[in-house]
Structure 1
Amino acid sequence: MPAPTEHKTVQARILAYAQEVGWTLVLREEAEKRRDIGDSKLEIGKGSLFFDDLLDAKVREFNPRYAEAEGALLGKFRHLHADIYGNREFVEHIRNRGKFYDPDEKRERDLILIDYDDPGRNVYEVTEEWIFHNGQFGTREDVVFLINGIPVLVIECKNATKDEGIALGIDQIRRYHDETPELMVPQQLFTATDAIGFSYGVTWNTVRRNIFAWKKEDFEPQISQMDADEEDQKSNLRKSAKSAVESPLLGNLERMVKTFCAIPRVLAFLKDYIVFAEKDEELNKYILRQHQTGGVEKVVARALDPARKRGLVWHTQGSGKTFTMIKTAELLFRAPQADKPTILLMIDRNELEDQMLKNLAALGIGNLEHADRISTLNRLLKNDYRGIIVTMIHKFRDMPADINPRSNIYVLIDEAHRTTGGDLGNYLMAGLPNASFIGFTGTPVDKTAYGKGTFKTFGGEDDAGYLHKYSIAESIEDKTTLPLYYQLAPNEMLVPHETLDQEFLSLAEAEGVADIEELNKILERAVNLKNFLKGKQRVRDVAKSVAKHYRENVEPLGYKAFLVGVDREACAHYKKALDEFLPPEYSEVVYTGSNNDSKLLKEFHLDSKAERQIRKSFAKREQFPKILIVTEKLLTGYDAPVLYAMYLDKPMRDHTLLQAIARVNRPYENEAEEMVKPHGFVLDFVGIFDKLEKALAFDSAEINAIVKDIGLLKSLFAAKMADKVPGWLKLIVHHFNDKDVDGLIEHFRDKERRKEFFKEYKEIEMLYEIISPDAFLRPFIDDYTGISKIYEVVRKAYTKRVYVDRAFQKKTNELVQKHIGTSGIGEPGEVMKINEDTVEYIVNRKGGDATKVINLVKSIEKFAEENSDDPFLVAMAERARAVQEQFESRQTGTADALNQLLDEVERNEARKREQAGKGFDGLTYFVFSKIDEAGIQNAEGVSRKIREAFVEFPNWKRSENSLRELRQAVTFAIFAECEELDQVTALVEDLFRILEKGGTA
């Protein structure tokens, strides 16, 4: 039975499903003709990135006054920078914000490229094998979707039988950006699929944490701001897309393609849901995720519903709530039904105002005001300003009633559970009596009186209380945020139960408090509690414990930490105490200073520039500081994914506790260091987590999703060691001698078995790294060391990245190194010289054939790497890898695989003799051997001509023109002896594929 192919099982099916939801298939040959690539495909660099004729026709159809010469617009596009800035400029064009000059009226007009108002006027096409060559590198994209001749979406397809298929597809997308960035300027979206998974993201952002799994959804893709009278025009597009979610019989790939690639959904992504924003002075590109787009569309629909005026949106912290609010404001502002509205974005923190204003300005909204004073806000509302106003809730204090009675005023309130309580909320709602109020919150609404008030204010028009919800549990499942684990400090450091209970947990006024300033007022009255927390000896003991824990448990993992003091004075004392146990550069204090501060507090004042630099440096793994000491600042709104641990020494509860510990739950990945943050961690020096039922007044399901005792990790470690490890240890019967090594190589020859072992071991290793050092681990050390050595053998035998792989986490590595000297372990991975003595050496070498196969492959690879200017060796290494793949998949027996590799070594010795006899250099002989193998006449003469061509164009790897000329010279040299164009083309492609890998100049 034939094996499934990538094209048959994935690519062809995507094309079929795309046609069923409204895309027209353009066959590859027709697409290449329309791009002027030519039949022979020999003219490298020729060919457009667009369907030029269609794009030009649509531009003239949509812009009747457009009078520029044919090709002028395409020329402009070709001169865009091949980077994220050029891509941002192109987004402006496909959002119809580009300009053209109208000579009749002597003014600029908006240039329409895509008709979003009447989508039936656009042309939607899909094609495959989209080739492009910039003269240095070539690219072939699997499936490309085009609107009006503009490529906007690319899908990379992988066979479901391939290991890590989606990861390989995303790696290809990364390669396209690196090698052919010109191609990625107009393209906006990408997906990678193996027919099982379906991951998506935006071009120019291929960081793993910004690539998401598309989830099955029961929705009908919408186009934002849809007018009722447009329904007939769009109904055909909607029907085809809706069919994707109505039938339970649809397969996974079909459902994913028909929802993600539905025309209204793609249009919505292009028009509304791709965002550019600067972070740390660097431009970034993002795509709104499903929960964000769903929230935006729900809020816009509610705001435009004349019958309802309230709504509550809970999107858990770290899930992009700020972008959700910004996009909601923009779409409401642009909605025709809103009829020139006023939108108030109510922010609860000063630092968010700047971020909000910067991001809104980037959207190109002209009508944008910052009401930084009460008088400014009053003036804008009284004068009936139309546009977006960014302000803070306290600017409503003492506002006159009925200052603006219009109904098309939309108030979007951040952290609604804390900003509208008491008089401020009354001023706001009395001043704008007919406005719509939508509350946003990053934490679930609690079960206290505050929570009931929030639901009453915002959630009364929805049966479930929420207009839209993205819970903590959903966020963790989607890996938008990470789970949190906690551990209690030793009893002698914890606050006495009765003190904590009487002065904090049992106080009615502390329930449901969501503002950290209110929390601080409550703590000011907790005299005994604060005296205990700030006791001189205790501060020193806690600092010593923090330093030890950080050095042993956190720093080896490569992460950073917060130490949260009860107030600013505690922070200052902690800094002095920590400096006794850690180098001073390890920690910094960040709090707000005052002119009336004591000498101690003033010692740690920071100006705004220094604070900005500390924030920026802390977010970078390799820079100091490693620990920030804080009490209020940075506990809300500051995101540093490298932050892993929080040392909590400040009593908190409900929203303030959630907001604080959410600092450590941001995903972090560093591919170069093979770091993937497993979760966040809190070490509790107060005892709050010992009273979770009082500390978090939320539904139990939410509490369970938020935090878990680190004891669960110990239980998981013990369970895995009992369940998995004994079977692996049984494979070692000779104290790790060469027979054991050969047995391990044979046992883990099967890819699936090996993959499962690597996965399980890495989970066990991560648990060990997190828990260690701990007396709990003592009974497991011998077995853990044993499986670590097994992992080392198997990894060295089979990993593709032998020379850069990071074998172990730091603590495990130290453990293995400590024991490895006495183990008698014999490992694969011996690198031997490839010469005339290699065959005899291998034959006479002790050990099993499986180990010899692995060692010989690695030796050939290493030899080729060291002699990369010899293309014969580069090709030889390719053939050796193919032998290993057949060996691993059991298509070739061990003895046959070893013989094939020995044949390769002997073949290399024979070619060296023949090459010397003919007086050829490495390049000429390689070309000669390929041409001779192909059965083409006069192989020696052709290879000498090709060598001359390489001499004539020495800069072919750096110059597009040189490469084009060189390829033509090589092609015509072979073509002179062989007129089979397909054979010549295939041979030229194979030659350059090898030559581009090596160092041949």
Structure 2
Amino acid sequence: MTELNEKQLVENRMICQLQGLGYEHVHSPALDEERETLRDVVLTKRLSNAIHRLNPWIDENNLNKMTRQVTHIDATSVMEANEQFHKDLVSYISIQQDLGKGKKNQTVKMIDFDDPENNEFLVVDQLTISDVGGTIKPDLILYINGLPLVVIECKSPTITNQMGEAVKQLNRYQREIDRLFHYTQFLIATSGEQAQAGTVGAQTRHYSEWKDPWPFKIDDIGTEPNRQDILTVGMLTKTQLLDLVQNFIVYEPEGGKTVKKLARYQQFRAVNKAVERILHTETPKERGGVVWHTQGSGKSLSMLYLAVKLRRISSLKNPTILIVTDRNDLDNQIAGTFRRCGFPNPKQAEGVNDLRQLLTQARGSTITTTVHKFQEGEQGEAHPLLSEDENIFVMVDESHRTQYKGLAVNMRSALPNACYLGFTGTPIDKEDRSTTRTFGPYIDKYTIQQAVDDGATVPIFYEGRMTNLHVQGESLDTLFDRTFREYPEEDRERIKQRFATEESLTGAPKRVEQIVLDLIHHFETHIRPDGFKAQLVAVNRKTAILYKEKLDELSDLESVVIFSGGHNDGEHLQKYHLSDVEEKNYIDRFKKAGDPLEIIIVVDKLLTGFDAPIEQVLYLDKPLKEHNLLQAIARTNRRYKGKTHGLLVDYYGVSSFLNEALSVFDDSDIEGALHPVESEIPRLQNRHRAAMRYFDHVDFFDSEACIQVLRPEDVRNEFDVAFRKFAESVNMVMPNPKAEPYKKDLKFLGKIRQMAKSRYREPQMDISDCGEKVKRLIADHLHASSIEVLHEPIDIMSGKFTERLETYTSDEAKASEMEHAIRHEIKVKLDENPVYYTSLKEKLEQLIEDGKEKRMDLIEQLEELQKITAELRNSDKQGEEEGFTKEEYPFFQLMEQELPYDDKEPLKELTHIITEEIQDYAVMDWPEKDEVQRQMRRKIKRQLRASHCPKDQLEGLTQQMMDLAKVHYKK
């Protein structure tokens, strides 16, 4: 039923929809005649025909060269090959040919990006691809001009963890047949009701939904479209697909490896809306506008995608692109992003004069600068006119900020006909008319709540700690009395004269010490166990240094102070000045998992434009509001493995006046910006109920009964998902006291899950995937409960397995342990002897079915299970009796099943001949050597042909033999 649902409800539905979008549906058998071997992933004839059609001048020699260059990519890894192919595809390959004026480089197109209808679009189902790594059969492959650009894996909507299973399958395909993924531009995992897209090498968390089919509307798609239908229209319509491939894919180095990035739907939509406005407005001034995409949702990449697309629009005549920020570190960050993603030669303006020269002379350049380089001359004269060109596009980062207001006039004076596009990570406030006046109305919005709903960012929670020390909301006298209550009265009066201001009181050493003690406890119990890091925001530089010194004095936490130094700073401040190199080194260390640098202490620096996904918490002891508050807290909203939320720990009292701090924004724009920790409690309650309901009618003290509840695989999978969500919510709320009522049930569920892991041989049912605080809680409970819970599964082939069975008091428990031990042995050994273990699996399934249908009682079932166990233990002797070694016997059984021989003797002889041939070629590391494998394959085929193997079985049987050889003769 599951396979039927997958085929009918998911795969066939997408095929029909793609046919409606103009794709031709081709069944895979029809392509087998086109392909020389099952190894071929490119449809060479179709590619050759397309190249000739799109480049009619090309001669036969160059056509063959082109085809070979595409089908034989020289690269050391899948990602390197994928990047090289993408570059050749969208930037075209250059080839030498004489068109009548001597040999010159000519550009060769493989795809016509300008006219989608001038290409061949195919959707192919169940195409078998076989190579040395194995055999795969992707559900759907989308071919354009013979090139496999999209691979789609469909899963039944009835299974648990649909996206996880689909991505797992796609990743297996990438391991086994990596050549297919030299060409794949993106991959899709779908179950109908869920559908997500990702790139080569991506894990499940990197796949994302395509929620908006812009420029189409959801109502245009049909009656009650599901998420798959929306993604199909949004990404796979011919125009959309070619646009994505050409303009919305970049390769960026990250952590020593290259990561392929595909635009998300909001980036695609914003860029195309901006282009539409640029191309279809009546006056140059109307072309601009503002893109508000909340922080952490890929604003810098959106700017990059827009620059890429503007460069390719011929009517813009090689435009100049100017990226403007308001700080040097942001300028460096954006210039670095453009450079890392392979954008051609971005130029970073070094000063006022350099910027003016670049804008005056360098048409068609990409330039990055800070806004301050648009300042007036030394005598205060007006800013000079630099260019009157209309094809200059100015993209301004964080365009709402006050420092743009005065310098915007200078930009207009310098570039009066340019198109101004504002990008911001925070919404425009209600009173800010100058931003829209400078840039124009909104082009696109992507709100804080949308980003969280999409999983682009994590939600941010807040909690006020040490409320008796909060500055905001308290009178200075009250706060002073609390902070200095332990001092004698005469000292208090003297101190009061010195600490007369709110800022000074905030940095009072006694107050800072109390906060540091609380911070250390909070970080060590709540943040460090999960491997995350923190920023601490102090009110001024002097207080920041005091925090650093107190942390060093009272803990082993490694921290660093990062602030902007001044030439007139005193000796104590200068001691903490950092060079640019030192600062970069500290930031790199902070971003690195496992590095002992865990806390960065700041005042203003690194509160905007700083991207460190490993940061989970912002300790705030400074008055922040409006844009500054939204930008600061967004340091914690980046996604990271195991990170479910960011956290603002408020020592100043800002969160008590949150509505006031954010009052300049429309409520709809800041919905979901910050949540009190207590807001997770209702979800925790729901998740608790969802996990506990499996055991509503079972005695909690009867562990065997609880384990039997999880016997069906689908129930086990559903419970596992429910448990993970419950554990996630507990981890989010701990150490808040409101998590206490749930700890007992979490321990109980963790124990049952661990026992089920052992019984059903389910390695993923482990506490290792839980948050560290939850993991410790459960682990301590398991150690305290009984050794039985902690035991690892015993191999059924071991003599200790019988001893284990004797510890069970019920026949039902013994039968269950034996059944799943046999299942595990079959699963582990299936590749060693597919024929034998598949037969055994069928026998076991029949036995279990007979038990369910009451065709045999429990005692009879136990006897049959013991017979299967004995057969497993004696399996090697069966081969010996037939005259085979352990390695040879699986080959004999395979041929006995596949070849039409009545007499065993010729098959035995053929088995010995083929296995001897294999051993002759089985040199060291032969599965990694293509030439050795080709020769081995050729020898096996020759022997099978000589033995009258049916022609239609020859290819498949040879591959099965090769697979067995890799298991049994790998050196």
User: Which TM-score band applies after superposition, normalised by the shorter structure?
Assistant: 0.7 to 0.9
Residue 570 (structure 1) aligned to one of 529, 543, 565: 543
Contact 1:857 / 1:881 at 8 angstroms: preserved in 2?
A: no
Letter in 1 for 2:763: R
Q: How far 1:919 moved relative to its partner?
A: 4.7
Q: Does 1:74 align with 2:67?
A: yes
Which residue of structure 1 lines up, in the alignment, with residue 162 of structure 2?
165
Q: How far 1:723 moved relative to its partner?
A: 7.8
Please give the per-residue CA displacement for 1:774-829, whole angstroms capped at 9, x wherever unaligned. Answer: 44444544344333323333344346326976265433344344444664585496
Please give the per-residue CA displacement for 1:556-604, whole angstroms capped at 9, x wherever unaligned. Answer: 22211111222222222222211233325x3222233344433333333
What number of residue pairs does the alignment pair up?
A: 930
Change (3 A) 1:886 1:453: farther
Change (3 A) 1:803 1:860: farther
Q: How far 1:648 moved relative to its partner?
A: 1.1
Letter in 1 for 2:533: K
Provide the C-alpha distance between the structure 2 equivalents of 1:756 and 1:953, rounded to a whole number of angstroms.
Answer: 47
Which residue of structure 2 lines up, in the alignment, with residue 99 of structure 1?
94
Q: How far 1:883 moved relative to its partner?
A: 4.8
Q: How far 1:973 moved relative to its partner?
A: 4.3
Q: How far 1:989 moved relative to its partner?
A: 4.8
Contact 1:367 / 1:386 at 8 angstroms: preserved in 2?
A: no
Please give the per-residue CA displacement for 1:713-747, whole angstroms capped at 9, x wherever unaligned. Answer: 345445655786487376235x3xxxx23211222
Letter in 1 for 2:115: D
Q: How far 1:837 moved relative to its partner?
A: 6.5
Moved more, 390-399 or 643-652: 390-399
2:400 aligned counterpart, secondary structure: helix
Contact 2:759 / 2:793 at 8 angstroms: preserved in 1?
A: no
Unaligned runs of 5+ in 2: 377-381, 480-497
Letter in 2 for 1:49: V
Please give the per-residue CA displacement for 1:413-451, whole angstroms capped at 9, x wherever unaligned. Answer: 11110156442122222333333322111101123x3x2
Letter in 2 for 1:797: R
Q: Does 1:713 align with 2:680?
A: yes
Letter in 1 for 2:918: F
Which residue of structure 2 lines up, in the alignment, with residue 477 of structure 1?
453
Q: How far 1:967 moved relative to its partner?
A: 3.8
Which residue of structure 2 lines up, in the alignment, with residue 966 of structure 1?
936
Q: Does 1:458 align with 2:458?
A: no
Contact 1:853 / 1:884 at 8 angstroms: preserved in 2?
A: no
Moved more, 828-837 or 79-88: 828-837
1:212 aligned counterpart, secondary structure: coil
Q: Does 1:265 align with 2:231?
A: no
2:401 aligned counterpart, secondary structure: helix
Which residue of structure 2 lines up, in the alignment, with residue 764 of structure 1?
726
Q: How far 1:346 moved relative to its partner?
A: 1.5
Instruction: Report % sequence identity.
Output: 25
Q: Does 1:283 align with 2:251?
A: no
Q: How far 1:693 moved relative to its partner?
A: 1.4
Which residue of structure 2 lines up, in the alignment, with residue 404 of structure 1?
387
1:651 aligned counterpart, secondary structure: coil
Provide the C-alpha distance between the structure 1 equivalents of 2:326 and 2:670, rounded to a whole number of angstroms.
Answer: 25
Please give the per-residue CA displacement for 1:609-646, whole angstroms capped at 9, x wherever unaligned. Answer: 33323222322222221222222222211212121111
Residue 215 (structure 1) aligned to one of 187, 204, 211: 211
Q: How far 1:69 moved relative to its partner?
A: 4.0
- Pairing 1:14-25 to 2, within 5 Å after superposition: 14-25=14-25
Q: Does 1:468 align with 2:444?
A: yes
Q: What's the C-alpha RMSD, in Å, of the aligned pairs?
A: 3.7
Provide the C-alpha distance between the structure 2 equivalents of 1:415 and 1:35, rounded to a whole number of angstroms.
Answer: 53
Change (3 A) 1:325 1:576: same
2:244 aligned counterpart, secondary structure: helix
Q: How far 1:536 moved relative to its partner?
A: 1.1
Moved more, 397-406 or 870-879: 870-879
Letter in 2 for 1:100: I
Letter in 2 for 1:400: H
Change (3 A) 1:282 1:125: same
- Pairing 1:227-626 to 2, within 5 Å after superposition: 245-248=220-223, 250=225, 253-280=228-255, 282-304=257-279, 305-307=281-283, 308-361=286-339, 368-383=346-361, 385-398=363-376, 399-400=382-383, 402-418=385-401, 421-447=404-430, 449=431, 451-459=432-440, 462=441, 466-495=442-471, 497-498=473-474, 528-583=501-556, 586-626=558-598
Provide the C-alpha distance between the structure 1 equivalents of 2:723 and 2:582, rounded to a whole number of angstroms.
Answer: 43
1:120 aligned counterpart, secondary structure: helix
Letter in 2 for 1:98: I
Which residue of structure 2 lines up, in the alignment, with residue 923 of structure 1?
887
1:417 aligned counterpart, secondary structure: coil
Which residue of structure 2 lines up, in the alignment, with residue 678 of structure 1?
644
Which residue of structure 1 lines up, in the alignment, with residue 491 of structure 2?
none
Please give the per-residue CA displacement for 1:55-84, whole angstroms capped at 9, x wherever unaligned. Answer: 233333433443444432233331421432
Please give the per-residue CA displacement for 1:509-552, whole angstroms capped at 9, x wherever unaligned. Answer: xxxxxxxxxxxxxxxx9972221221112222211111111111
Moved more, 471-480 or 368-377: 368-377
Q: Does 1:53 align with 2:41?
A: no
- Pairing 1:708-747 to 2, within 5 Å after superposition: 708-714=675-681, 716-717=683-684, 721=688, 725=692, 728=695, 731-732=698-699, 735=701, 740-747=702-709
Contact 1:857 / 1:884 at 8 angstroms: preserved in 2?
A: no
Residue 206 (structure 1) aligned to one of 190, 198, 202: 202
Change (3 A) 1:979 1:432: closer
2:922 aligned counterpart, secondary structure: coil
Residue 113 (structure 1) aligned to one of 94, 110, 113: 110
Change (3 A) 1:702 1:876: same
Provide the C-alpha distance between the structure 1 equivalents of 2:548 and 2:786, rounded to a whole number of angstroms.
Answer: 48
Moved more, 933-942 or 343-352: 933-942
Please give the per-residue CA displacement for 1:315-354, whole angstroms capped at 9, x wherever unaligned. Answer: 1111111111122233223323324443322122222333
Change (3 A) 1:478 1:711: same
Q: How far 1:396 moved relative to its partner?
A: 1.5
Provide the C-alpha distance between the structure 2 equivalents of 1:458 and 1:885, rounded to a whole number of angstroms.
Answer: 72
Provide the C-alpha distance between the structure 2 equivalents of 1:255 and 1:391, rounded to a whole number of angstroms.
Answer: 39
Contact 1:401 / 1:432 at 8 angstroms: preserved in 2?
A: no
Unaligned runs of 5+ in 1: 42-46, 221-241, 504-524, 670-675
Which residue of structure 2 lines up, in the alignment, with residue 88 of structure 1?
83
1:372 aligned counterpart, secondary structure: coil
Provide the C-alpha distance between the structure 1 equivalents of 2:517 and 2:721, rounded to a whole number of angstroms.
Answer: 36
Contact 1:796 / 1:802 at 8 angstroms: preserved in 2?
A: no
- Pairing 1:779-798 to 2, within 5 Å after superposition: 779-798=741-760
Q: How far 1:660 moved relative to its partner?
A: 0.8
Provide the C-alpha distance between the structure 2 equivalents of 1:617 and 1:884, rounded to a whole number of angstroms.
Answer: 54
1:815 aligned counterpart, secondary structure: helix
1:701 aligned counterpart, secondary structure: coil
Q: Does 1:11 align with 2:15?
A: no
Letter in 2 for 1:966: M
Change (3 A) 1:959 1:850: farther
Please give the per-residue CA displacement for 1:650-677, whole angstroms capped at 9, x wherever unaligned. Answer: 22111111111101011112xxxxxx31
Contact 1:482 / 1:666 at 8 angstroms: preserved in 2?
A: yes
Please give the per-residue CA displacement for 1:229-258, whole angstroms capped at 9, x wherever unaligned. Answer: xxxxxxxxxxxxx99934335555444334
Letter in 2 for 1:929: Q
1:213 aligned counterpart, secondary structure: coil
Please give the per-residue CA displacement for 1:496-515, whole angstroms capped at 9, x wherever unaligned. Answer: 52458999xxxxxxxxxxxx
2:927 aligned counterpart, secondary structure: coil
Contact 1:155 / 1:191 at 8 angstroms: preserved in 2?
A: yes
Provide the C-alpha distance between the structure 2 equivalents of 1:338 and 1:809, rounded to a whole number of angstroms.
Answer: 52
Provide the C-alpha distance between the structure 1 equivalents of 2:344 and 2:797, rounded to a whole number of angstroms.
Answer: 72
Change (3 A) 1:2 1:156: closer
Q: How far 1:469 moved relative to its partner?
A: 0.6
Q: How far 1:167 moved relative to its partner?
A: 1.8
Change (3 A) 1:109 1:244: farther
Q: Does 1:653 align with 2:625?
A: yes
